[in-house]
Amino acid sequence: MVAIRAPKSHRAKRELLKHAPKLVETGKKTLVLHGTKTSAVLNSVLADLFHLKRDNAVKYSKKNENIRPFESGGETSLEFFSLKTDCSLIVYGSHSKKRPNNLVLGRTYDHHIYDLVEVGVENYKSIESYVYDKKLAPKLGSKPFFAFIGEHFESVEELKHLKEVLLDLFKGEVVENLNLAGVDRVFVCTAISPTTVYLMHCALRLKRSGTSIPRMELVEVGPSMDLVVRRHRHPAESLKKEAMKTANHAKKMKNVTKDPVQGKLGKVYIPDQQIAKMALSNDIKGLKRERREAKKNKEHSKKQKTNVE
Amino acid sequence: MAEAAAPPAAAATATNYEVDLGNLMAYDPSHHLPAASSSREELRKECLRKGTELAQAVADALFALPATEDRDGPMVRLPPPTTRLPREKHLPRPKPPTKWEQFAKMKGITKHKKNKREWDEQTQTWKRTYGYDRVNDDKDIPIIEAKATDEPGVDPFAQRREEKKKRVDKQEKNRLENLKKAAKVGALPSHIQLAATALPITGTKADIPKKSRKKDLEDVAGMASSATASGGKFDEKLPGEKPPKNPGKHRQFLPVVEGKGMGNKEKQQNDKILNALLSKSSEDQMDVGRAITMYKVKKEKQRRKDKEKSSSSNKLKPQKKSLKKSSKKKA
C-alpha cells in the first residue's frame, strides 16, 4: 500500500517546491559543519567561510559523528544533510593528529557526493585580524572576481581540481546581468608550491584612471590561509557527463538546418496515422460508390441466374 | 610612476592571461614565483601585485562590455562562462501523461476553460461551479422524485451520497496510479512523496492462514521423522536436527516390589481387573423385561422347530394328496 504524502500548509509546499530541480540553476547553497573534534583555528576558519557566504549557507554548530567523506559508508550522513538543507556545496572541518586542521570541500549532485578535495589549513589569518577602512568592506552577496596565479593550477591534477572547487564555492549567485557599481571583491589564489595554495580575500577599490576603465586597487580584508591539498576524489566520468548537462543540451533543435542559399530549412515528419486503429462507422461516405456497385453486381448476377433457369 | 607602468604591463601580459568573463575569473598560467620570496610578507606583496594585475585584466574586459545605464548603476550583460561547472541537480524530467491525458489525446478531446461562476436557476443567483454552495449541488436538492424503477426501502439521498463518495475514491485511486507512474521515471512533483503505509494484503482476513506456533511445527516435525517402519531409528539426522520432542506414548513398567504410591499401583490395576471379572458372575441381576423377551423368543424357536419336523415327514408325498390322505387318516 502506498499513500500520498503532501505538505499540509501552503508555506511548506512553497518551501519544498524551491527544492525542485530547475532548468537553469541560479546558485548553490553551502553547508558548513564540523566533526567530533575541531581546533580553535578550524572553528575560526569555518566561521569566516560561513560569514563570507552567509546569504546562501547553512551552518551546523553541533558535533557530527560518523562523517568520513572519503571512506565508503562515511558519506551517508553528509548526503542526508545535503538533502535536508538542500545544500550542494559542503565545507566539513575536522581535526586529528594525522590530519590537523582538516577541511573537506565537497560538491554534491542530486544529493550524492560528486567530488571531494581535502585540504589542510596553515598560516591562517582571520577576518578580525585585518584592520582597514570599513567603507571598503565588500557587500554581502556581491559577485567576486577571481585571480588564479601559478602554473601548478594547470600542471598538477589536485590543484586543477581545487581551482574548480574554489571557483564553485565562492562564485556566488549565477547572474546574467551585472551591476558594475557592485564590483567590490576579489579572491586571489596563488599556487606557491605543487601542493599549496595561498588564498586571499581582498576588497577592490576602483580608482579613476582617466579612461572609462577604472584602475583596480586591492585591499586585503581577510581571511587568508594556505591550503595544503591532502586527498581528493574526482567524480566518475559518467556522473560528470550527467552533471555537466545544461538546458541547451536538453533542448536540441531537431530537423532544422540552415542553408546559405535557401535559408532556414525544416524537415516535417508526419506521424503514423494508425488507420487500423480508427473506429469505423457502418456508413462511410468514401465507400458509397463501392457499396452501390457491389449491390448492383449482386442484383445483376441474380438476374442472370434467373434467366438461366 | 606606477600608474604609468601599469597600463603597458597589463597590455603586454594580457595575451598570456586566460580571462573567463562569465565567472569574472582571470588566470595566469605562466607565472613563476621568485624563489627568493621566502618571507611571508614578501610573498603576500607579490601575490597582491599579481592579483591586482589579474583583477585589472578582468576589469578591462568587463568595463569594455556595452553597458546600459540603470537607476542603480551601469549594467552589463555577462557572456556565458567558459569554465563549465557541474549542475546541482538533474535536469527537470518531463511528467508522463496521465491515463486520462493519453485517452483524451487518442480521442482528440481538448480541454476548454469553464467559467468560475454560473447562473443558478434554483436560487436565482450567481454561484461558483465548484466547492461549497455551488451550482447544482447534490446536497442542496430537497426533493427527489420517485421513479417506477425505484426499489422500495432504498434512501435515494443516501444512495446519491454513496455514489459521490465512490466517484471521489475512484479519482483518488487514479491519482495515485498516475503519481506512481511519474515516480517511476523520477518526475514526481518535489512537494509530493509516496510513502509505504503497510505491506500489501490481498483478500480478507479469513484467507490469511493462521500463523503456526513453534510447538505445532515441532510436533509435525517429530511425527514426520518417526513415520518410518523403524520409527525413524535408522534415519540419518540432518546437521543440527534435534531429537523429536513428542516421540509418542511409552509403555510404563510399574515397580514389582510393593510399596506406597507407584508401588501400590500394580496391585490396584490387578484388583480392578479381578473385580470386573468376579462381579460379572456374582451380581447377575434379573432384568424382567429382558427375561420375558428371552422366554418368548425361546418358545417361538421351539414351535418353529416342531413345525419343521412335522412338515419334513410328509415331504416325499405330493402336497395336495397328502392333505387329503392325512385328513382321511385323521378322520
The per-residue pLDDT for range B78-98, each reduced to its tens digit, is: 998 999 999 999 999 999 999
Q: Is the Cβ pair A217, B52 closer than 8 Å?
A: yes
Residue A85 counted as domain residue: yes
pLDDT of residue B4: 39
pLDDT digits (tens, 9 = 90+) for B83-142: 999 999 999 999 999 999 999 999 999 999 999 999 988 889 999 999 888 888 877 788
Its domain, for residue A131, covers 26-244
A40: in domain:
yes
B66 inside 8 A of chain A by CB: no
A54 assigned to some structural domain: yes
Q: What is the mean pLDDT of residues A123-150?
A: 93
Q: Closest partner residue to B30 among A151, A163, A242, by Cβ?
A: A151
A83 part of a folded domain: yes
Mean of pLDDT over chain B: 80
Q: Where are the alpha helices (DSSP H) in B37-155?
A: 40-63, 99-107
Residue A281 at interface with chain B, using a CB cutoff of 8 Å? no
| Contact residues on chain B for A183, CB-CB shorter than 8 A | 59, 62
CA of B126 vs chain A CAs: smallest distance (Å): 29
Higher pLDDT, A22 or B258: A22
Chain pair A-B, CB pairs under 8 angstroms: 215
C-alpha–C-alpha distance, residues B52 and A207, integer Å: 12
Q: Which of A91, A126, A122, A90 is nearest to A201 (CA)?
A: A126
- Does residue B316 carry a pLDDT above 60? no
Question: Which CATH number fits the domain that encloses residue A129?
Answer: 3.40.50.10480
In this prediction, residue B331 carries a pLDDT of 40
The residue in chain B having the minimum alpha-carbon distance to the alpha carbon of residue A29 is B88
CA of B16 vs chain A CAs: smallest distance (Å): 12
- Express the helix, strand and coil content of chain B in percent, nearest 5 each: 45, 10, 45
CA atoms of A11 and B128, how far apart (whole Å)? 26
CB A233 within 8 A of CB A244: no
**ipTM for this prediction:** 0.77
Residues of A whose CB is below 8 A from B177: none
Distance, CA of B247 to CA of B142 (rounded, Å): 75
Compare B156 and A253 and report the one with higher pLDDT.
B156
Among residues 217-236 of chain A, which lie with CB inside 8 Å of chain B? 217-218, 220, 224, 235
Q: Look at residue B327 in the predicted model and tell me its pLDDT.
A: 45
Q: In this predicted structure, what is the pLDDT of residue B257?
A: 76
Q: Is residue A200 domain-resident?
A: yes
Report how many domains make up chain A: 1
A-facing residues of B in 284-303 (CB < 8 A) are: none
**Predicted local confidence at residue A249, as pLDDT:** 55
Out of A109, A150, A190, closest to residue B87 by CB: A109
Confidence of residue B63 (pLDDT cuts 50, 70, 90): very high
- pLDDT of A149 reads 93
Least confident of A140-149, B14-23, B63-72: B14-23
**What value does the mean pLDDT take over residues A12-35?**
92
Stated pTM of the model: 0.66
In a domain, A308, yes or no: no
Q: Which residues of B touch A22 (CB under 8 A)?
A: 89, 92
Give the rounded percent of residues in chain A with a pLDDT score beyond 70.
Answer: 96
Q: Is A109 exposed, middle or buried (0-12, 13-18, 19+ CB in 10 A)?
A: buried
Res A221: pLDDT:
93
Whether residue A280 is contained in a domain is answered as no
Q: Is residue A102 in a domain?
A: yes
Q: Which residues numbered 80-109 in B keep a CB inside 8 Å of some CB on A?
A: 83-92
Render pLDDT for A201-235 as a digit per residue (tens, 0 to 9). Answer: 999 999 988 888 999 999 999 899 999 999 999 99
pLDDT on residue B172:
94
CB nearest to A21's CB, from B56, B90, B198: B90
The mean of the pLDDT values for chain A is 90
How confident is the model over B25-53, as a mean pLDDT?
85
pLDDT, position B213: 79
